[in-house]
């Protein structure tokens, strides 16, 4: 029995902004973990585990996981309220949230570059976690079936559907691949240009925000 394609996208702009955002997530998590304190910018499961480890091993600090969890939570609360608050202007609000995320990561990229990669670790973690929290809440408000920052369920569903129903979701596979590629490229940029590592995710998020904004403009023109 041949494999069948499955899955659908409701995210404004389709697959391209989702791929860009997922690649940015990979880059952000790789950069934060490898270069700024061995915590994750978006993988809260990992941060909760690290928080538990820190309560047992005195050599491990709880400040990093707590900072990321706190920043992520604040961003989720704000972005979710804004993106879900007005159905008539949902796409425009989604594009606005992504632009805010792009500004946060852009500010982080500039700050790290100007400080010679000596920017205070806490500030790096705050800006990164705020950005990832905005992204997670925004994507969930637009299309809860296509996350870009937590792909364990996506990975599980992809292979479960393949085994049980012989269906393949190409968009899920694309996002998983984008996460891996984004992490690799993000770290490669940081190793080659230590002060400019966050430029890559900033550009990826900006491109995604522009694509969604274009969709919002098209919808507004059609309504007019």
150-178 pLDDT per residue, tens: 899 999 988 998 898 888 888 889 999 99
**83-105: per-residue pLDDT in tens?**
876 665 788 899 999 999 999 99
- Six token digits for residue 91: 């796409």
pLDDT on residue 189 = 94
Specify the pairing of strand 167-168 against strand 4-5.
Answer: parallel
State how far the Cα of 27 lies from the Cα of 21, in Å rounded to an integer: 10
Please say whether the beta carbons of 36 and 132 come within 8 A: no
User: What is the torsion angle, in degrees rounded to the nearest 10, for the CA atoms of residue 155, residue 156, residue 158 and residue 160?
Assistant: 160
Angle at CA 107, nearest 5°, toward 123 and 182?
90
């Amino acid at each position: 029995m041949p494999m069948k394609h499955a899955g659908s996208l409701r995210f404004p702009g389709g697959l391209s902004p989702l791929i860009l955002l997922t690649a940015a997530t990979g880059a952000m998590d790789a950069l934060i973990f490898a270069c700024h304190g061995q915590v994750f910018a978006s993988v809260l499961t990992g941060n909760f585990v690290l928080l538990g480890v820190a309560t047992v091993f005195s050599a491990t600090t709880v400040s990093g996981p707590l900072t990321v969890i706190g920043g992520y939570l604040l961003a989720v609360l704000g972005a979710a309220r804004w993106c879900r608050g007005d159905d008539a202007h949902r796409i425009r609000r989604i594009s606005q949230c992504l632009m805010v995320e792009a500004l946060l990561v852009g500010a982080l990229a500039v700050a790290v570059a100007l400080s010679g990669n000596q920017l205070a670790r806490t500030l790096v973690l705050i800006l990164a976690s705020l950005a990832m929290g905005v992204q997670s809440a925004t994507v969930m408000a637009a299309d809860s079936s296509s996350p870009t920052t937590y792909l364990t369920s996506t990975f599980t569903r992809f292979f479960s559907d393949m085994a049980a129903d012989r269906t393949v979701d190409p968009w899920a596979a694309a996002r998983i691949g984008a996460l891996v590629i984004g992490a690799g490229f993000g770290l490669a940029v940081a190793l080659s240009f230590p002060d400019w590592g966050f430029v890559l995710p900033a550009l990826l998020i900006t491109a995604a925000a522009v694509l969604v904004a274009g969709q919002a403009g098209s919808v507004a023109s059609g309504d007019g």
